[in-house]
Amino acid sequence: MRQTRIIARLDVKGTNLIKGVHLEGLRIIGKPHDHAKLYYEQGADELIYMDCVASLYGRNSLGDIVQQTAQDVFIPMTVGGGVRSVDDAMRLLRCGADKVAVNTAAVADPRLITEIARRFGSQCMVLSVEAKRIGPGRWEAFTDNGREATGLDVIEWAKRGAALGAGEILLTSVDQEGTRKGFDVALVGAVTAEVSVPVIASGGMGTPAHMEEVVRHGQADAVAMADILHYKRATMADIRGAALQAGIPVRTFDRG
């Protein structure tokens, strides 16, 4: 069994790290770089920076934060929110991002997925999908933090995105996000069953045990978490320990 990646997700508004519920009602947590560095030192396998309001205002202001983080955080960084073009992607990569996550602009023009994958490799192109449950075994893709419906079926969209060149799917359950009630395991399972690229489960991690559920029953390749770390409800070490105890391989991390 492959090592499951434990990913710290940092949602950013302006210069602040924030956290919401169902991607809304945002609360300020602190400075993004401080938290990024802390999670890196605790043994996070990767970081995701997401500019929550970027597509709303048609901008992406994460460059400075990414640049600062790249000074002393030496794990892969995915950056998203407001990436609308190959040039936007290039700018973030130049700041130190390793991958870009694209949602709104990919929905508007799926060719962007292929363009970014061709230019930088598909390992660089993460398709961000915000999923809302609309019926038993059915989810619809949303954009703009779960505000705008797209009419796209999540499973079909994820398959199409992978076929167009997305190297990973960041799958966020809007229903579970910020609730601490666990991942939407059925959603993750439905997508991992249909796409061959790695799927990052995001939204709902409230206890270390939730990771086991979504890996064992949803076949998630990686789990993203925010609330549980930001509010210090568990440390990376707790989460890593719980995973190992449950028989889920994760990165060994012994160094202080």
Partner 1 sequence: MADVAVIDYGVGNLLSVSRALLHCGATVEVTDDPARILNARRVVLPGVGAFAYGMDALQARRLVDVVHEVSRRGTPLLGICLGMQMLMDTSAEFGETAGLGLITGRVVPVPERATDGEPQKIPHIGWNGLAPASTPAAWSGTLLDGIAPGESVYFVHSFMAQPEDDAHRLADCLYGGVAVSAVIRNLNVMGCQFHPEKSGEVGLRVLKNFLRP
Distance separating alpha carbons of residues 131 and 206, to the nearest angstrom = 19
Mapped onto helix, strand or coil, the DSSP state of residue 232 is coil
Tokens 């996070």 belong to 44
* 46: β partners: 7
Minimum distance between the CB of residue 243 and partner 1, rounded to whole angstroms? 13
**Residue 139 identity:** W
Pairing of strands 5-13, 222-225: parallel
Active site (annotated) includes residue 130 = yes
**Binding residues vs partner 1 (CB under 8 A):** 2-3, 5, 40, 43, 45, 70-72, 74-76, 93-96, 98, 120-124, 167-168, 196-198, 221-222, 251-255
Minimum distance between the CB of residue 249 and partner 1, rounded to whole angstroms? 9
Nearer to partner 1 by Cβ, of 3 and 61: the residue is 3
Minimum distance between the CB of residue 156 and partner 1, rounded to whole angstroms? 20
Distance separating alpha carbons of residues 235 and 38, to the nearest angstrom = 10
**Residue 145 identity:** N
Determine which one of 51, 130, 144, 212 is catalytic: 130
Nearer to partner 1 by Cβ, of 181 and 241: the residue is 241
Active site (annotated) includes residue 46 = no
Mapped onto helix, strand or coil, the DSSP state of residue 30 is strand
Minimum distance between the CB of residue 161 and partner 1, rounded to whole angstroms? 15
Nearer to partner 1 by Cβ, of 7 and 107: the residue is 7
Nearer to partner 1 by Cβ, of 167 and 204: the residue is 167
Nearer to partner 1 by Cβ, of 25 and 121: the residue is 121
Alpha helices by DSSP H, listed for the chain, are 32-42, 54-57, 63-72, 86-95, 104-108, 111-120, 154-164, 185-192, 208-216, 227-230, 236-245
Minimum distance between the CB of residue 118 and partner 1, rounded to whole angstroms? 10
Residue 43 C-alpha from the chain's centroid: 17
Determine which one of 11, 88, 140, 168 is catalytic: 11
Cβ distance 178 to 228 under 8 Å?
no
- Active site amino acids: 11, 130
